[in-house]
Homo-oligomer: A and B are copies of this chain.
């Protein structure tokens, strides 16, 4: 058996050194270090890289981390929630504000402010969002897929830090399986009252299943859980393949029985993840664990590249 090696912390240390120091420890620290090893392998090897993003990660400040990963070729397929895309679009012209969770919510409403835990959003940004959507949503004779609509929207956004724009520029498909459950959905429906815009609810499935079929090796990073997690994993179900690498950063735990907290091992029983896969779940707030994992994995990747 290997020994626990006590962590060593120093002023000025890098995130990579911190994670190195966590590798032979217990609990969340070891899981986080394990996630970095798997992510390094995913980014440096020949893997089709899926990224399942849920939780209010864009309002919380992870937009640029995601769009940078896309622009650097570290995400091949993005599966996310409508909410993250709505807030991505808002950030392209407006902004979110630092708020407090212990707010008087009725007073906030009176002031025209919507709250996402400790982040505030002003009605004027929503109004501008709605106007933008009505001006850019397409008028389409043919029925389109959700991915096509996301690609179209991405092309209308000029902000290079935008997730949608970055995906557009890099040719990364953006799947949003619960699109009706978002303000993009609401606006698309309003738009379709006067224009023609029909999105075929099931058309995306063909595209993601095809990607799964064509992947020799595949890896997935799951932030949170929910629909993005399940949609990504289930797409492997109808193929003879399964994920070879899997990382999950979540605050949910397995004991509730829900999918968001389900272990990645459970997904092996379904055939979604390979019995030989390397996988790890890091329990905790992804606004902390995700940037640590990315910073450390990118550092190791840089060293690999400079060595070769």
Residues of A within 8 A of B (CB): 1-16, 18, 21-22, 24-30, 32, 54-56, 59-65, 68, 83, 91, 95-99, 101-103, 105-106, 108-109, 113-120, 143, 146, 161, 177-183, 185-186, 188-190, 192, 197-206, 209, 224, 226-227, 230-231, 234, 237-238, 251-260, 262, 265-271, 275, 283-285, 287-289, 291-292, 294-295, 298-299, 301-302
Contact = CB atoms under 8 A, between A and B. Distances in A.
Contact of A101 (B56, B119, B254): B254
Contact of A114 (B98, B179, B270): B270
Contacts of A95: 3-4
B97 A2 contact: yes
Contacts of A180: 146, 177, 201-202, 204-205, 231
Q: Which residue among A30, A99, A181, A299 has the maximum number of chain B CB atoms within 10 Å of its CB?
A: A181
B287 A285 contact: no
Contact of A202 (B4, B15, B118, B185): B185
A177 B179 CA distance: 8
Given A28-B285, A285-B256, A292-B18, A115 B266 contact: yes
A24 B192 CA distance: 38
Contact of A98 (B4, B260, B299): B4
Given A200-B198, A202-B192, A224 B105 contact: no
Nearest to A99: B1
A268 B201 CA distance: 31
Nearest to A95: B3
Given A9-B291, A180-B231, A201-B180, A256 B251 contact: yes
B178 A205 contact: no
A20 B230 CA distance: 33
Contacts of A267: 105
Contact of A62 (B7, B63, B298): B7
A206 B189 contact: yes
B29 A291 contact: yes
A22 B61 contact: yes
Copies in the complex: 4
Given A231-B180, A251-B258, A185 B201 contact: yes
B15 A285 contact: no
Given A95-B3, A116-B257, A12 B302 contact: yes
Given A61-B25, A268-B109, A4 B288 contact: no
Given A11-B299, A177-B185, 12 more contacts: A3-B97, A4-B95, A7-B65, A11-B295, A26-B60, A26-B119, A27-B117, A114-B270, A116-B262, A146-B201, A178-B227, A198-B198
Contacts of A68: 8-9
Contact of A9 (B114, B265, B298): B298
Q: Which residue among A113, A182, A200, A287 has the maximum number of chain B CB atoms within 10 Å of its CB?
A: A287
